[in-house]
Amino acid sequence: MDQQTTERTETTRRRRGPVRRFVRFAFYALLVVGAIFLGGFLYFADVVAALQPPDRPKADAIVVLTGGFQRIDQAVELLKSGAGERLLISGVNPSTSGSQIRRNTQTPRDLFDCCVDIGRQAIDTIGNANETARWARGRGYGRVLVVTNNYHMPRSLLELRRAAPDIEFIAFPVVNSDLKTSNWLSNPMALKTILLEYIKTVAATVRDALGAGRSNGLRADLGGTGT
């Protein structure tokens, strides 16, 4: 090998050195991030699986975050039992009437008319939190029972406490499937639901930590201020 070839080889090695170090660093960094993500996900799933409703729920009022009539049914039962004096159904589609909700939940008319409020402004969980905060403050409630699915509860409480740190929110999770006894990791739908909710919860946590801006999650045409 002549001197010119040797020099070219050494030059190529010097150029490849930093690239190889960068690729190696990026690979290990991805491994660390992946391990943290996986560990956080498993911890999140464990927290969700351990959520249980209180034995004797009692608060000033109740809010249910829409997402299925099972949640609303549970909230109505709490209202009937006296767990709260009034119920807010947050995030109702504007095209859904109160009479439809009353019929679907088989709520007595007198109870529905006197003690159930329907919120139609919220379009997402942030909107649920802001809608609930306005409602609770407007009526002077200091303790509110929160009814939503167990997997949705951590992010719901995060947004609610951010919107109204002066109000105590008490979790009343609705358990659709028992994550403790079922092999949910082998269930594609359950795995997708928990994973997506975990990602949304992490994003909400990072957003708050960075103080990033966000929309208020309310319909501008129904009294919200928009984005």
The pLDDT tens digits for 12-51 are 555 556 767 777 888 888 889 889 999 999 899 889 988 8
What is the number of alpha carbons within 13 Å of residue 110 lying toward its C-beta?
1
Cβ contact 145:84 at 8 Å: yes
Q: Which residue has the higher pLDDT, 85 or 66?
A: 85
So what's the pLDDT on residue 126? Answer: 94
Q: Which residue has the higher pLDDT, 134 or 219?
A: 134
Residue 148, helix vs strand vs coil = strand
Query: What dihedral do alpha carbons 7, 10, 15, 17 form, nearest 10°?
Result: -170
Q: Which amino acid is at 22?
A: F
* Cα distances (angstroms) measured from residue 58 to each of 77, 135, 171, 191: 13, 18, 11, 33
Share of residues in the chain with pLDDT > 70 (%): 83
> Would the pTM count as exceeding 0.95?
no
* Cα distances (angstroms) measured from residue 177 to each of 170, 183, 184, 187: 21, 10, 9, 11
Structural domains of the chain ordered from first start:
61-222 (3.40.50.20)
pLDDT above 60 for 75 = yes
Lowest-confidence segment of 48-52, 117-121, 132-136 by average pLDDT: 48-52
Sheet hosting strand 143-149, strand order edge to edge: 116-118, 87-90, 61-65, 143-149, 168-174
So what's the pLDDT on residue 122? Answer: 94
In this structure, what token pair is assigned to residue 191?
């795995």
Fill in the DSSP letter of residue 182.
S
